[in-house]
């Protein structure tokens, strides 16, 4: 699914999918923010494939406990689900609860059996590590999933430059990655990172329901990414 750049429209309401079709390639379905998440999924008959995310509270989401894995395991059985997001800390066993690792590994195996891609994700809501640490994080995430996702917080332009450099280096090393900086100093990375190899972009269907700091409206990000790629540097 992620051989080329994929722009996902983030939402907790699958009835918004028709409004995303003009600009998005897929929908990131935020199950942790949704009302009756599995019920919505069962009723889904939209055109866009789904990346299902049930973000843990310890990584900035609203899902509590290990039950989120059961919901994701059920979700990947739906024919529209093409990918699932799993936190790298769980896959790597660096979370304090060892049960996280066993559940995450089982979910990854189930996803692969179902033909769904795995996005191994890392979020830092406070800072952006040094470039070498970013490259290592991306390599770790890419080795655990089909795509390694890294979202950090930029507090200065140098943080955005570090992320773009790390994206370029990780891609050149053969890793499939998705990168962005949250916050105003790094907002432009959401549009520029695909030029350096980032494979996934995120934007809300409804700008009022942004799921991370600094997200562009969906139509805006589509135009920015496509405009930058048309000059020949990104395709």
Known catalytic membership, residue 149: yes
Query: 21 CB contacts (<8 Å, ≥6 apart)?
Result: 46, 47, 48
Strand order in the sheet with 147-153: 177-182, 147-153, 117-123, 81-87, 50-53, 26-30, 6-11, 200-204
Q: How far, in Å, CA of 194 to CA of 228, rounded?
A: 9
Give Cα 143 to chain centroid, integer Å: 16
Q: How far, in Å, CA of 77 to CA of 111, rounded?
A: 9
Catalytic residue (one of 103, 123, 168, 175): 123
**DSSP state letter for 217:** P
H-type alpha helices, the chain: 17-20, 37-43, 67-75, 88-92, 98-113, 131-144, 157-172, 189-192, 218-228
Catalytic residue (one of 103, 149, 188, 199): 149
DSSP string over 7-66: EEEEES-GGGHHHHTTT-SEEEEEGGG-SSHHHHHHH---SS-EEEE--BGGGTSSB-ST
Q: Which residues are catalytic?
A: 123, 149
């Amino acid at each position: 699914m992620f051989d080329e750049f994929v722009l996902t429209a983030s939402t907790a309401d699958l009835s918004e999918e028709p409004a995303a079709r003009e600009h998005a390639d897929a929908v990131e379905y935020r199950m942790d923010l949704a009302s009756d998440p599995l019920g919505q999924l069962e009723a889904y008959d939209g055109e866009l494939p789904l990346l299902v995310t049930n973000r843990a509270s310890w990584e900035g989401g609203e899902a509590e406990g290990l039950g989120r894995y059961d919901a994701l395991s059920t979700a990947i059985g739906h024919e529209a689900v093409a990918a699932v997001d799993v936190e790298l800390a769980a896959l790597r066993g660096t979370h304090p609860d060892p049960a996280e690792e066993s559940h995450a590994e089982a979910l990854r195996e189930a996803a692969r059996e179902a033909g769904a891609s795995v996005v191994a994700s890392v979020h830092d809501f406070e800072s952006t590590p040094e470039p070498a640490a970013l490259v290592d994080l991306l390599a770790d995430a890419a080795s655990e999933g089909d795509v390694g996702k890294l979202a950090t917080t930029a507090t200065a332009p140098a943080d955005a430059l570090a992320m773009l450099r790390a994206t370029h280096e990780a891609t050149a090393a053969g890793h499939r990655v998705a990168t962005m900086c949250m916050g105003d100093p790094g907002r432009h990375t959401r549009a520029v990172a695909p030029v350096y190899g980032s494979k996934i972009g995120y934007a809300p269907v409804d700008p009022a329901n942004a799921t991370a700091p600094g997200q562009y409206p969906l139509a805006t990000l589509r135009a920015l990414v496509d405009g930058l790629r048309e000059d020949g540097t990104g395709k």
